[in-house]
Amino acid sequence: METKIWNIRSDQLGDEMTASKLDEIKTALEYGEVIGIPTETVYGLAGDARNPEAIQKIFSAKKRPGDNPLIVHIHSTAQLAEFTEALDPKVETLMKHFWPGPISFIVPLKGSVLADNAVADLDSVAVRMPSHPVGHAILEKIGFPLAAPSANLSGKPSPTDFSHVIDDLNKKVYGVVASDPATYGLESTVLDCTQFPFRIARPGSITKGMLEGVLKEDLCKHHGDAEKPIAPGMKYKHYAPHQPLIVVEGGFKNSTKLKLDRDEKVGVIAPESVRKYLPQNVYFISLCSGERDYPEAGRNLYAALRKMDKSDVDKIYIHGFPKKEETEALMNRIQKATGSEIIKEES
């Protein structure tokens, strides 16, 4: 099966040809097909969240573990009444403030509207409302919730451009929407609202401080792995190229301390400002302009990992950013990709 590609850019919404493409996409999703769609975080592999056969196609295409729940995507808070219990007023406040946008809320599940395999047989569901104009338009057009994990092979770097989806899933899924690339580049923040205080289950662009600023109260600090994960990204290694990936903390100014074997081809992913400290024979990919350009680094991380994955280097070193709220999501993804292999350099 050749994967179909629909070209729909944000500035094409509203024209007649785009309307016809949206009709095709709606029909495909209604018939249980799965499609790569754009969001502002990463590209998602979307299927009808109510249809267990469609959900199984997602798991099969990605080779994703069945106990790893999916995030359900909606276009309107009115849809929540179909499959969630009455929401805590604090959750409603956060949704009004941050939606549409890069945050998912884990809330109590109601009834049997959603497929059991979409939520990994849990009694809760992670739900979000994307702000990408094309992704949002697709959700409005179809009118039903879509389950959509990242549109990549499980464990590989997430896709931030439609070409990444084609690289991983061509001939494995019905179609892909070729649209504007992701603006954030890291998956959504996931906030667990089924316990008190609320807990960040996965860090993202919406930070703990931003959430507490709206709630006017503290969140639980803990997030991380779980034996039975309630959100994506909590249990398994993710985002990894096939080569060993090692975090370098403290910068590359003393990069001669890196153990570079004579016959070994080495790659480095780091801010552009680091390039001058590296040997000429290192394959360098610029992650961002300066060492404090954290949003740019987040946007470029997965593309850089994918580029290294296709290269002939034997080993990859990646810049470790300082631990602070603005870098928490970025370093969470880097550490997931490395398996927490770290060396420390004196800066």
Give domain status of residue 140, yes or no.
yes
- Total of domains in the chain: 2
Residues 71 and 198 in one domain: yes
Residues 43 and 170 in one domain: yes
Whether 239 has a pLDDT exceeding 60, the answer reads yes
Phi, psi of 344 (to 5 degrees): -110, 125
The closest of 297, 289, 307 to 328, measured between CA atoms, is 297
b/e 321-347 (16+ beta carbons within 10 angstroms → b): beeeeebbbbbbbbbbbbeeeeeebee
Confidence of residue 262 (pLDDT cuts 50, 70, 90): low
Tokens of 256: 């001669």
Residues 187 and 260 in one domain: no
DSSP per residue, 93-157 = HHHHHH-SSSEEEEEEB-TT-S-GGGTTT-SEEEEE----HHHHHHHHHH-S-EE--BSS-TTSP
We report the CATH number of the domain holding residue 288 as 3.40.50.11030
Give domain status of residue 314, yes or no.
yes
Residues 58 and 161 in one domain: yes
Rg of the chain over Cα atoms, rounded to whole angstroms, equals 20
Give domain status of residue 221, yes or no.
no
pLDDT tens-place string over residues 94-134 = 999 999 999 999 999 998 899 999 999 899 999 999 999 99
**Could you give the CA distance from residue 258 to residue 209 in angstroms, rounded to a whole number?**
36
Kindly report the average pLDDT of the chain as a whole number: 91
What is the model's pLDDT at position 210?
Answer: 97
**Could you give the CA distance from residue 127 to residue 135 in angstroms, rounded to a whole number?**
15
Angstrom distances, CA of residue 19 to CA of 14, 175, 198, 347: 7, 17, 40, 55
We report the CATH number of the domain holding residue 9 as 3.90.870.10
Residues 202 and 262 in one domain: no
Angstrom distances, CA of residue 2 to CA of 73, 167, 169, 171, 227: 26, 13, 10, 5, 38
What is the model's pLDDT at position 67?
Answer: 77
Angstrom distances, CA of residue 66 to CA of 61, 119, 169, 203: 12, 10, 18, 22
Cα distance from N-terminal residue to C-terminal residue, the chain: 52
Answer with the one of 165, 195, 215 that is the final residue of a domain.
215
CB 144 within 8 A of CB 78: no
**Could you give the CA distance from residue 139 to residue 298 in angstroms, rounded to a whole number?**
26
Give domain status of residue 225, yes or no.
no
Containing structural domain, residue 64:
4-215
pTM over 0.75: yes
Residues 192 and 272 in one domain: no
Residues 270 and 134 in one domain: no
Residues 334 and 264 in one domain: yes
Beta strands 266-270; 342-344: pairing state: unpaired
For range 185-194, the mean pLDDT:
96
What is the model's pLDDT at position 259?
Answer: 61
Among 14-23, 24-33, 214-223, 327-336, the range scoring the smallest mean pLDDT is 214-223
Whether 1 has a pLDDT exceeding 80, the answer reads no
Region at 268 (left for phi over 0; alpha for psi -120 to 50; beta for the rest):
beta
What is the model's pLDDT at position 299?
Answer: 97
Residue 285 host element (H or E): strand 283-286
Give domain status of residue 317, yes or no.
yes
User: At CA 155, angle to CA 210 and CA 133, rounded to 5?
Assistant: 50
Residues 189 and 333 in one domain: no
**Could you give the CA distance from residue 43 to residue 180 in angstroms, rounded to a whole number?**
10
Residues 37 and 160 in one domain: yes
Confidence of residue 145 (pLDDT cuts 50, 70, 90): very high
Whether 263 has a pLDDT exceeding 80, the answer reads no
Residues 164 and 271 in one domain: no
What is the model's pLDDT at position 346?
Answer: 52
Give the CA diameter of the chain. Answer: 63
Phi, psi of 201 (to 5 degrees): -85, -25
Answer with the one of 170, 198, 215 that is the final residue of a domain.
215
What is the model's pLDDT at position 124?
Answer: 95
Give domain status of residue 238, yes or no.
no
Residues 294 and 185 in one domain: no
Give domain status of residue 229, yes or no.
no
Give domain status of residue 41, yes or no.
yes
